[in-house]
Amino acid sequence: MSDLRALYQEVILDHSKNPRNFRVPDPVDHFANGINPLCGDKLTVYLHVVDGVIDDISFEGSGCAISTASASMMTQRLKGQTVEQANAVFEQFHELLTSSVEQKTSDDQLGKLSVFSGVREFPMRVKCATLAWHTLQSALSGEQADVSTE
């Protein structure tokens, strides 16, 4: 029960029901599609990057609470960041989801994203939480191919 509460925190449920930046920005210069064939989640991440800085970031699609909330909070966290900073945040986020013990680093860049720490107890759901982030990386790398979690 406590694990479930840790997974479905208020913030996560709020973002899954009312996703932020759920739109196509104008202009768009990078985008990519991500799918999780296991559960049918599909989303598209859009970016407008100016001089290495993420000027605008948004997404559209359908998915479970974890993947939708993760995409929504990702867009909030990364808007205004440089591409390098975005990659560093993803690295820490991935560590948060997959490390066996909670690690507090001195340069914690996750902020509100740390609410996803509960996903660690649900290995089957890590792919839900990382779908938007893998799709972001694909969009930034300029590969237009679809990303799959499988």
Partner 1 sequence: MTALHPQALISENLRADFPILQQKMHDKPLVYLDSAASAQKPQIVIDTISSFYETGYANIHRGVYKLSQDATEAYEHARNVVRDFIGAAEAREIIFTRGTTEAINLVAQTYGRSALGPGDEVLITEMEHHSNIVPWQILCEQTGAKLVVGLMDDTGTLLLKNFAELINARTKLVAVSHVSNALGTINPVREIIELAHAQNIPVLLDGAQAAPHMPIDVQALDVDFYTFSGHKVYGPTGIGVLYGKAALLEAMPPYQGGGDMILSVTFEKTEYNEIPHKFEAGTPNISGVIGLGVALEYLQGIGMDRIAAHEAALLSYATEKLEEIPQVTIIGTAKEKAGVISFAVEGIHPHDLGTIFDMDGVAIRAGHHCAQPVMEHFGVPATARASFGLYNNFEDVDMLVQTIQHAMEVFS
- CB 11 within 8 Å of CB 117: no
Compute the CA torsion angle 90, 91, 92, 94 (nearest 10 deg): 80
Residue 40 amino acid letter: G
Cα separation, 102 vs 118, in Å, equals 10
Among 23, 38, 52, 95, binds partner 1 (CB under 8 A): 38
The reply to whether 53 sits near partner 1 by the rule CB under 8 A is no
The reply to whether 22 sits near partner 1 by the rule CB under 8 A is no
Judged on CB neighbours under 10 Å (0-12, 13-18, 19+), 36 is buried
The reply to whether 1 sits near partner 1 by the rule CB under 8 A is yes
* Peptide bond between residue 37 and the one before it cis (omega within 30 degrees of 0): no
Beta-strand pair 41-50/53-62: antiparallel
The reply to whether 4 sits near partner 1 by the rule CB under 8 A is yes
30 is written with which tokens? 């990078």
Among 57, 58, 63, 116, binds partner 1 (CB under 8 A): 63
Kindly state the smallest distance separating residue 14's Cβ from partner 1, in Å.
11
Kindly state the smallest distance separating residue 137's Cβ from partner 1, in Å.
22
Residues 111-150 that bind partner 1 (CB under 8 A): 122, 124-125, 128
Pick 78 or 131: Cβ nearer partner 1: 131
* Size of interface with partner 1, in residues (CB under 8 A): 22
62 is written with which tokens? 């359908």
Kindly state the smallest distance separating residue 39's Cβ from partner 1, in Å.
4
Q: Which residues bind partner 1 (CB under 8 A)?
A: 1, 3-5, 7-8, 13, 17, 38-42, 62-66, 122, 124-125, 128
